Amino acid sequence: MSCTVVIGAQWGDEGKAKMIDYYSSDADIIVRYQGGANAGHTVVVGGKKYVFHLIPSGILHPGKICVLGNGVVLDPLQMVDEMDKLIEQGIDIDYRIFISDAAHLILPYHKALDSALEEMRAENKIGTTGRGIGPCYADKCFRTGIRVGDLYDEKYLEEKITQTLKIKNLQLEKLHGRDPYSVDEIMDICLQFKARVEKMIINTAFYLNEESDKGKKIILEGAQGFGLDIDHGTYPFVTSSNPTVGGALLGTGINNFQVNRVVGIAKAYITRVGEGPFPTEDFTESGNTIREKGHEYGATTGRPRRCGWFDVELLKQAKRICGFTEIALIKLDILSGFKKIKVATGYQYEGKKIEMFPSFMLDKVKPVYTELDGWDEDISACKKYEDLPEKARNYIDFLEEKIGIRIAIIGVGPGREDTIIRN
Ligand code: GDP
Ligand code: IMO
Ligand code: MG
């Protein structure tokens, strides 16, 4: 039994991929469990940058197995594109990728509906990535989705697509004034994908449990983050899946007794892309400084990320829901040079302190800040906790005490080696 779940503790883009790449050197299998190509996961190795949207972030470690679990919504065009890019870059992916036969396929009409629905929401946009995530998960819940396993039976697949398109085209044409899709073009995408990945399609829940029983080390790679969870996040400004720990079990078929470590990945400040409440958002020059220093632009859509300060209540709630065994605090290097660093240690609602993360009205709370002294030193070359300036250590100790959980890892740069492990 050795299964580590890696989960974003804020609103996504916390630096999960860098940590998953780091942990992968000591693992056998890395599994994506939810979400789809809405994710943008960046790994920097030897100064070279790789961005993954679907393929697990462990793929750069030769010989490691990468799995797309049943909870993933898989865009076949994106998947093939990503595989091709890896091959072009000289990464050997042969016999290293498995795809769940129960994962749902994202097809062009899902993407068209995603953007059409956003357009209709006018003033109430969610700010989705436009990758078809919501419409695909909706089909899954409606029990009309097309799954990877459906590719095996072409006659059944064609019937299913014909039936699906009757409704999708009606919606696209009549409601949104968009172009319809033909059965042939959707069949083409499906069959070309099948030809390319046929040997990778397996029952991943069975495979993962068998491998776990043999003592293989497994990492479950979360996409998005706690605040974007459809049940526990800032609904409706969320994604359509469960990045939290329950999603990791559901999206892989691994049971809770096999999980022995749950790592929460948190940025040393906070970012958010898209709409939705963000109590500690900084609209001043400091927010801009964080964005520029931290290169806070979306890895999937290129949108500027909204930037703000560390939020203790958000982290405490993520810890409650996910049962983190430890926290990795990422991008601490970006805070070098700030005279004062703000931390929201609680919220006020209508002048009264509230001691929890509310399920409603997060947009109405006011953060209560503590200001800590910053540090000037560049910390990107620090290799040990003791190498960090005293004020940076004070910041970590302060967060650790407020959240009530060990900050076991600190990120001081984008590279694999820019990682401090505390004893
Ligand atoms: P993910 O979606 O959680 O995997 O995160 P993203 O890849 O979307 O965004 C994190 C960004 O921060 C990427 O550009 C990483 O290369 C970069 N990054 C990760 N860790 C660190 C760190 O400790 N310091 C700095 N400066 N950059 C980091
Ligand atoms: P990673 O894995 C940050 C956000 C979108 C939008 C909301 C819903 O890189 O951390 P969706 O397309 O999922 O229906 O959009 O969720 N979002 C992310 N924000 N990082 C991500 O992934 C995200 N994936 C989706 O911006 O607000
Ligand atoms: Mg990202």
Say if residue 1's pLDDT is above 80: no
Mean pLDDT, residues 232-251 taken together: 98
Q: What's residue 301's pLDDT?
A: 85
Range of the domain at 342: 266-421
Question: How far is C-alpha 406 from the geometric centre of its chain's CA atoms?
Answer: 22
Longest dimension (CA), the chain: 67
Picking from 145, 168, 196, the residue at the C-terminal end of a domain is 196
The Cα angle at residue 141 between residues 117 and 242, in degrees rounded to 5: 85
pLDDT digits (tens, 9 = 90+) for 303-321: 999 999 999 999 999 999 9
Q: What's residue 355's pLDDT?
A: 83
Q: What's residue 299's pLDDT?
A: 81
Say if residue 300's pLDDT is above 90: no
- DSSP secondary structure of 125-142: -----SSSHHHHHHHHHH
Q: What's residue 210's pLDDT?
A: 96
> Which CATH number is 252's domain given?
3.40.440.10
Whether residue 349 is found in the same domain as residue 412: yes
Mean pLDDT, residues 268-277 taken together: 97
> Which CATH number is 368's domain given?
3.90.170.10
Q: What's residue 93's pLDDT?
A: 96
Picking from 145, 164, 196, the residue at the C-terminal end of a domain is 196
For residues 178 and 116, the answer to whether their CB atoms sit within 8 Å is yes
The residue assigned the tokens 């940058």 is 49
Q: Which member of 21, 26, 28, 41 is catalytic? A: 41
Helix axis angle, 108-121 to 154-170, nearest 10°: 20
For residues 246 and 229, the answer to whether their CB atoms sit within 8 Å is no
pLDDT digits (tens, 9 = 90+) for 157-214: 999 999 999 999 999 999 999 999 999 999 999 999 999 999 999 999 999 999 999 9
Distance (angstroms) between ligand 1 centre and the Cα of 110 equals 29
Return the ligand 1 atom nearest residue 411 CA: 23
Whether residue 75 is found in the same domain as residue 216: yes
The number of the ligand nearest the C-alpha atom of 12 reads 2
Is-catalytic flag, 53? no
Torsional class of 122: left (φ above 0), alpha (ψ -120 to 50), beta (otherwise):
left
Whether residue 290 is found in the same domain as residue 389: yes
**Domain total for the chain?**
3
Whether residue 282 is found in the same domain as residue 306: yes
> Which CATH number is 171's domain given?
1.10.300.10
Identify the sign of the CA torsion 12, 15, 17, 20. negative
Helices (H), 10-132: 16-24, 76-88, 108-121
Q: For ligand 1, atom 7, name the residue with the nearest CA.
A: 42
Whether residue 210 is found in the same domain as residue 252: yes
Helix axis angle, 183-197 to 108-121, nearest 10°: 120
How many helices and strands (H and E) does the chain possess?
Answer: 11, 20
Whether residue 45 is found in the same domain as residue 108: no
Distance (angstroms) between ligand 2 centre and the Cα of 223 equals 8
Whether residue 213 is found in the same domain as residue 96: yes
Identify the sign of the CA torsion 202, 203, 209, 213. negative
Distance (angstroms) between ligand 2 centre and the Cα of 274 equals 7
Whether residue 290 is found in the same domain as residue 400: yes
Identify the sign of the CA torsion 42, 61, 38, 275. negative
Q: For ligand 1, atom 8, name the residue with the nearest CA.
A: 13
The number of the ligand nearest the C-alpha atom of 228 reads 2
Picking from 261, 278, 297, the residue at the C-terminal end of a domain is 261
Question: Half-sphere exposure (CA, 13 Å, Cβ side) for 186?
Answer: 26
Whether residue 340 is found in the same domain as residue 210: no
Distance (angstroms) between ligand 2 centre and the Cα of 317 equals 19
Whether residue 225 is found in the same domain as residue 277: no
Whether residue 179 is found in the same domain as residue 206: no
Instruction: Indicate whether residue 56 lines ligand 2 (CB < 6 A).
Output: no
Q: Cβ contacts of residue 320 below 8 Å, gap of 6+?
A: none
DSSP E strands, 135-181: none
Q: For ligand 1, atom 18, name the residue with the nearest CA.
A: 414
Q: What's residue 423's pLDDT?
A: 80
Instruction: Indicate whether residue 8 lines ligand 2 (CB < 6 A).
Output: yes
Q: For ligand 1, atom 10, name the residue with the nearest CA.
A: 15
409, two tokens: 């890892």
Question: How far is C-alpha 300 from the geometric centre of its chain's CA atoms?
Answer: 11
For the chain, give the mean pLDDT. 97
Whether residue 237 is found in the same domain as residue 330: no
Burial 262-292 (b: 16+ CB within 10 A, else e): bbbbbbbbbbbbbbbbbbbbbeeebbebbbe
Identify the sign of the CA torsion 21, 394, 233, 300. negative
User: Which SS3 state, helix, strand or coil, does residue 96 take?
Assistant: coil
Instruction: Indicate whether residue 127 lines ligand 2 (CB < 6 A).
Output: yes
Question: Half-sphere exposure (CA, 13 Å, Cβ side) for 104?
Answer: 25
